[in-house]
Amino acid sequence: MINILNKNKNNPIIPIVVFFYIYLYLIFFDLDNQSKYNITLFYIKNLILGYFSVNNNSKNPNLKKHQLKDEDNNRGYNNNHTIMAFFIMFIAGMGGVLYGYDIGIINGVLLFITRDIPMNSLQLGIIVGAVLIPSALATIVTGKLADWFGRRLMMQISSLVFFISVIFLVLSNSYYMLLYSRWLQGLSVGIVVIVVPLYLAEIMPVHLRGRGVGVFQLLLTFGILLGTFINYLLADTHDWKLMFATSAVPAVILFIGCFFIPKSPRWLLMKGHSEKALKSLKSLNPIAKAKSERDSINNHLIQDNAEVGVGLASFIRALGRRHFLVPFLIVIFVAILGQTTGINSILQYAAIIISHAGLSSDSGALLGTNLITAVNFIVTFIALCLVDRVGRKFLLTIGTALVTASLIYCGCIYAFCPLGDTKAILLMIGLVVYIIGFAIGPGACIFIILSELLPSNIRSLGMGIAICLNSLVGGVFASYFLSFVEDIGYSGVFWVCAGLTFIYFLIVAFVLPETKNKSLEEIEESFIKQK
């Protein structure tokens, strides 16, 4: 296995395949500590090499033009820039782990919590969706708070609030205490889903921005995977409080790590700190590129301020101009339709969905959920290795088409197959294809699209509105998912989601522009030229 990794260290796909083998091996077989250490060390090393291999010496002639563009973008960069970029991605990406871990851990908690705190199906659904509703409210104000206090400080506030919510969850002994704790957790999630993609989009070099912003989604899927794996390990204990307690770890890492990463250069320039912005840019770019980037950002900020100003009134006034309105509407539709795929509800209720198909074992249902979340992480990683090469539009088109087809298939399985192991297996196959489609497109690209398309002057507030709607739709869907199932059945829910995802596919195919290899200022300029 180690030889395979060494021979293919520049191929981003090989480490993923090896990871999947390792993951299953760690679940089903015992290994001594030295073997675990060796495998993990080599895997992490080659995973990083694969992820950051932007100058891959591929022999495929179809990739030559993309490689030449990459070489232009990468000229002057050295290992120190790459190491800093990776460190920033890792620390800020802990916000994704924090959010994803919460989604993954609730999956196992649902199987055991009603034994200590009795709840009906509506109350259980509200507990699941309780994170997303306050999250939506938090996103409304987070954009403005991020403009006032900075992206980095808001990440630290988010991690602190999340840590406090975990303490309250562990101490919960009633439905309402549990609900209030989940609400507090939702406020934290609402902050992190705004500021982390915003921060990464504003600080990453052009040639790494797609993967940089995508790290949030990648680590979100890793958080889901980690949460479901911890659930599996703790299943025999039936200790849902212990499951919740483990989610404090990524919050601590994010809080401490933020002290060691630079502030957003665009935010610093918005506040008039030109030299500090240059210093931030130089940590990730060659000096000449950093100066050029600073001047470009500053010029666009001056131009936008002169054209529409700043503040809520200016935001509303900006939407009266086509080059502000069009990207804003695209972002709104992408945000809403990302949740109408049913992704949050399906991931959070995966164990119950599989169990209701005829698989009665709790451990079997959790193992099936582990498989689904592992595939989610693996495919998201592959997609993010490709997003700066093949583009966002291509991945989203393929992904939304797959999601639509797999949801139709899952609906048919639930409608026409009798209960039993066969139905559960066929359903899991459909859910795996569904996750592959989502991870390739909507999952890997949504935060990239939200952070790239919006012009500087409306970016933070625009993202806040978009993610607010995303969280609201996801929260309502998750809260009433079991009620929807009681009314129209699992098949009906799957088919409704398929229809809405098809609309998503049409918008991506015919409206969404490609932003690959463009700076944020170039993307804004392209909308201005469409007048």
- Taking the C-alpha atoms of residue 21 and residue 147, their distance in angstroms, rounded to an integer, is 44
If asked whether residues 247 and 390 sit together in one domain, one would say yes
Count structural domains, the chain: 3
What's the pLDDT at 37? 46
| Residue percentage of the chain with pLDDT more than 90 | 22
If asked whether residues 40 and 150 sit together in one domain, one would say no
Question: Poorest-confidence range of 44-53, 347-356, 380-389, 480-489?
Answer: 44-53
342 phi and psi, to 5 degrees? 85, 15
If asked whether residues 285 and 265 sit together in one domain, one would say no
Question: Poorest-confidence range of 22-31, 85-94, 124-133?
Answer: 22-31
> Is residue 65's pLDDT more than 50?
no
- What is each CA distance from 481 to 124, 266, 405, 424, 473, in whole angstroms? 10, 40, 21, 19, 12
Asked if 440 and 391 touch (Cβ cutoff 8 Å), the reply is: no
- CATH of residue 491: 1.20.1250.20
> Is residue 160's pLDDT more than 90?
yes
Structural domain includes residue 60: no
Three-class DSSP category at 290: helix
Structural domain includes residue 5: no
294 CB neighbour count, 10 Å cutoff = 23
If asked whether residues 239 and 254 sit together in one domain, one would say yes
Structural domain includes residue 440: yes
Question: What angle do the packed helices 79-112 and 248-257 form, to 10 degrees?
Answer: 160
- Taking the C-alpha atoms of residue 40 and residue 96, their distance in angstroms, rounded to an integer, is 21
The separation between the first and the last C-alpha atoms of the chain, rounded to the nearest angstrom, is 55
What's the pLDDT at 184? 92
What's the pLDDT at 365? 65
In sequence order, which ranges of 204-247 are alpha helices (DSSP H)? Answer: 206-234, 240-245
Helices (H) and strands (E) in the chain, counts: 25, 0
Burial of 414 (0-12, 13-18, 19+ CB in 10 A): buried
Structural domain includes residue 56: no
- Taking the C-alpha atoms of residue 220 and residue 268, their distance in angstroms, rounded to an integer, is 27
What's the pLDDT at 60? 44
Average pLDDT over all residues of the chain: 79
Token output for 91:
């620390």
Distance, C-alpha 335 to centroid of its chain: 12
What's the pLDDT at 402? 95
Structural domain includes residue 1: no
Question: Residue 293's pLDDT band (boundaries 50, 70, 90)?
Answer: confident
Asked if 457 and 312 touch (Cβ cutoff 8 Å), the reply is: no
Structural domain includes residue 4: no
- Taking the C-alpha atoms of residue 346 and residue 394, their distance in angstroms, rounded to an integer, is 25
If asked whether residues 483 and 510 sit together in one domain, one would say yes
Three-class DSSP category at 191: helix
Structural domain includes residue 16: yes
Asked if 166 and 245 touch (Cβ cutoff 8 Å), the reply is: yes
Q: What is the mean pLDDT of residues 145-156?
A: 91
- What is each CA distance from 280 to 166, 231, 268, 286, 375, in whole angstroms? 33, 40, 9, 11, 36
If asked whether residues 253 and 293 sit together in one domain, one would say no
> Is residue 30's pLDDT more than 70?
no
Q: What is the mean pLDDT of residues 354-380?
A: 75
- Taking the C-alpha atoms of residue 363 and residue 431, their distance in angstroms, rounded to an integer, is 18
If asked whether residues 279 and 216 sit together in one domain, one would say no
Three-class DSSP category at 518: coil
Question: Residue 362's pLDDT band (boundaries 50, 70, 90)?
Answer: low
If asked whether residues 371 and 485 sit together in one domain, one would say yes
Nearest to 451 by CA among 381, 519, 508: 519
Asked if 474 and 152 touch (Cβ cutoff 8 Å), the reply is: no
Token output for 507:
């918008």
| Final residue in a domain of this structure, among 290, 306, 322 | 306
Q: Which of 72-76, 218-222, 378-382, 434-438 has the highest mean pLDDT?
A: 434-438
If asked whether residues 291 and 377 sit together in one domain, one would say no
- Taking the C-alpha atoms of residue 508 and residue 453, their distance in angstroms, rounded to an integer, is 13
361 CB-near residues (< 8 Å, 6+ apart): none
Q: What is the mean pLDDT of residues 257-261?
A: 93
Q: For the chain, what is the radius of gyration of the CA atoms?
A: 22
Tens-place pLDDT, residues 309-321: 556 677 777 787 8
- Taking the C-alpha atoms of residue 59 and residue 49, their distance in angstroms, rounded to an integer, is 18
In sequence order, which ranges of 391-512 are alpha helices (DSSP H)? Answer: 392-416, 421-438, 444-453, 456-510
Token output for 510:
């015919």
Tens-place pLDDT, residues 417-438: 888 878 888 998 999 999 999 9
| Final residue in a domain of this structure, among 284, 306, 328 | 306
> How much of the chain is helix, strand and coil, in % rounded to 5?
85, 0, 15
206 CB-near residues (< 8 Å, 6+ apart): 73, 517, 518, 519
Tens-place pLDDT, residues 428-485: 899 999 999 999 988 888 878 887 888 877 777 788 788 888 888 887 887 788 888 8
Q: Which domain holds residue 287?
A: 274-306
If asked whether residues 254 and 287 sit together in one domain, one would say no
| Final residue in a domain of this structure, among 260, 283, 306 | 306
Token output for 393:
């539009």
What's the pLDDT at 307? 58
Residue-wise DSSP of 97-110: HHHHHHHHHHHHHH
- Taking the C-alpha atoms of residue 88 and residue 84, their distance in angstroms, rounded to an integer, is 6
Q: Which of 38-42, 137-141, 175-179, 422-426 has the highest mean pLDDT?
A: 175-179
6 CB neighbour count, 10 Å cutoff = 11
Structural domain includes residue 145: yes
Asked if 342 and 407 touch (Cβ cutoff 8 Å), the reply is: yes
Q: Give the side-chain half-sphere CA count within 13 A for 176.
A: 0
Tens-place pLDDT, residues 185-206: 989 988 998 899 889 888 888 7
If asked whether residues 470 and 354 sit together in one domain, one would say yes
Helix (H) or strand (E) holding 142: helix 132-149
- Taking the C-alpha atoms of residue 314 and residue 2, their distance in angstroms, rounded to an integer, is 57
Asked if 226 and 241 touch (Cβ cutoff 8 Å), the reply is: no
264 phi and psi, to 5 degrees? -65, 125
If asked whether residues 25 and 172 sit together in one domain, one would say no
